[in-house]
Amino acid sequence: MTPKNHPRYESLLLREKIKDAYKEGYLSDSGMIAHGRGETFDYLLGEKTTESSRIAIDVSVAKLLLAENPVISINGNTTALVIDEIIQLAKLIPAKIEINLFYRNEKRIDTIENILNKKGYDNVLGTNKDELLYIKDIKNPRATASKNGIYSSDLILIPLEDGDRTEILVDSGKEVIAIDLNPLSRTSKKANITIVDNIIRVIPLMIEITKKFRSYNKEKLKDIIKDFSNKDNLKESLKCIDLNRI
């Protein structure tokens, strides 16, 4: 048990959640490495939501509210850290939830599906029973998607995704919102909108902003989106890494 007065208490608590998810079998060993990489960037960014992240979050929420068939993609890390908040956000938008794992196996999928079911969420896509198709007929395990979910969606929120998958989604004409603490990853550069921030801060903020933006009309939502440049925003995020902070 981590003592509450430990200076890195919050961070250690997240590590515990990641370790537990690994022990429960739904998070891969690579998922733990991915978390470690995230921690590094979070440290460098000051472990807070920056102004550029805030802008990207506003744009993302506006996009999600305007989309025809938005889908939130979840994996082991997302499930371990923010599954309650993801369910809340999906209901508010409304958006579908689809499981997508880098190392897909039946047991991991079933475990994540059961976690959602126990929380009263039954309509999860990408399960073992679901019909999966290859996006644009690309016969690559990173190109599978649920027929009624990502396969037919116009906008996908991908917290923690790898570059290959992001590339397939974007190149197939879908709009992609990524949440990734590394502003230099292929995912961050390839996505249409990248939120350079920690999912544990981003999803609760998205819930708050969705509640506010829900009453806006289409024109007002489009106004929020119109001047956004992902490249410029990524550059702003990089500037937030202050290497002289000592």
- Give residues in contact with ligand ATP (CB under 6 A): 34-35, 37-38, 41, 77, 81, 160, 162-163, 179-182, 185-187, 198-199
Q: Which residue is nearest to ligand ATP (CB)?
A: 38
DSSP category for residue 27: S
Measured from the CB atom, the residue of 14 and 93 that comes closer to ligand ATP is 14
Number of residues assigned to the chain = 246
Please state the closest distance from residue 147 (CB atom) to ligand ATP, in A: 25
d(CA 138, CA 55): 34
d(CA 5, CA 183): 31
- For residue 217, count other CB atoms closer than 10 A to its CB: 8
- For residue 17, count other CB atoms closer than 10 A to its CB: 18
User: Which does residue 160 touch among Mg ion, ligand ATP, none (CB within 5 to 8 A, set by kind)?
Assistant: ligand ATP
Q: Which residue is nearest to Mg ion (CB)?
A: 162
DSSP category for residue 69: S
Measured from the CB atom, the residue of 161 and 221 that comes closer to ligand ATP is 161
User: Which does residue 198 touch among Mg ion, ligand ATP, none (CB within 5 to 8 A, set by kind)?
Assistant: ligand ATP
Measured from the CB atom, the residue of 38 and 70 that comes closer to ligand ATP is 38
With both helix axes pointing from N to C terminus, report the angle between 29-44 and 76-92 in degrees, rounded to the nearest 10: 70
Please state the closest distance from residue 163 (CB atom) to Mg ion, in A: 5
User: Which does residue 180 touch among Mg ion, ligand ATP, none (CB within 5 to 8 A, set by kind)?
Assistant: ligand ATP
Residue pair 91/242 in contact (Cβ under 8 Å)? The answer is no
Please state the closest distance from residue 219 (CB atom) to ligand ATP, in A: 32
**Ordered DSSP codes for 153-198:** -SEEEEES--HHHHHHHHHTT-EEEEE-S-TTSHHHHHSSEEE-S-
Q: Rule CB under 5 A: which of 156-195 touch Mg ion?
A: 162-163
Measured from the CB atom, the residue of 153 and 187 that comes closer to ligand ATP is 187
d(CA 217, CA 129): 38
Measured from the CB atom, the residue of 156 and 205 that comes closer to Mg ion is 156
Measured from the CB atom, the residue of 27 and 181 that comes closer to ligand ATP is 181
Residues that bind Mg ion (CB under 5 A): 162-163
